[in-house]
Amino acid sequence: MIRTLTWFTIGMLALPALAQEPQRIPAEAAERVVQFLAPEFAKLASPPLKVELDPKRAGGISAGDSRAVLGILDQAFTAESVKAAKEKPVAVGILLMLGGVPAVEGKAVPSDRLKVLTITTPAGEVRKLTVLWLRLKTVDGKLNLEILSNGDQALLTVPVSEVTGGDSPVVIDPKEATDQRSKLTLTVLGKWQVTLEAVAP
């Protein structure tokens, strides 16, 4: 993962990709990426959740010339949605992974359980993005985040913690990163946080 400073392009946008430390994707850059991806995202067959991407509420990190994670909230998701999740499951948004896949108990989720979005940039580069849908669900009185992809069954379920982290819509922080795996802390609306693991595919 440690490389010289380089760039990778998604759509019409070059995202800064980093060498030694993961770098946050600027809000304006994340917004342009979502605007480019939205039409392609809409073409995905049989999504497990109905989600309308909100370009102004996206955030993520890039690390290396071909690795990134981008979280995008559903247009309808608000703090009130979290309260509603006590009664029924609520869509949060999606998580896109470039150069990585989620892990369950340290092992990569099998490829047949993952939905992949393939795009071609104006420069002719082909990028394969793992698409993960996020849903809040209360089980036994505890709030959890379910992660789905290719099918209605959750790939994994992680507990949600309440935190005080500002008002950014989506913040992703890597922990214990190596060239093969990294723990990712995802904070939504500055108040709700989960931790998951991503590994090289």
To the question of pTM greater than 0.75 for the whole model, the response is yes
Over residues 155-196, the pLDDT tens digits come to 999 999 999 878 899 999 988 777 788 899 999 999 999 999
SS3 sequence, the chain? CCCCCEEEEECCEEEEECCCCCEECCHHHHHHHHHHHHHHHHCCCCCCCCCCEEEEEEEEEECCCCCEEEEEEECCCCHHHHHHCCCCCEEEEEEEEECCEEEECCEECCHHHCEEEEEECCCCCEEEEEEEEEEEEEECCEEEEEEECCCCCCCEEEECEECCCCCCCEEEEEECCCCCEEEEEEEECCCEEEEEEEECC
Residue 148 is predicted with a pLDDT of: 98
Residue 177 is predicted with a pLDDT of: 73
| Residue ranges in the chain modelled with pLDDT below 70 | 1-20, 64-65, 122
Residue 2 is predicted with a pLDDT of: 25
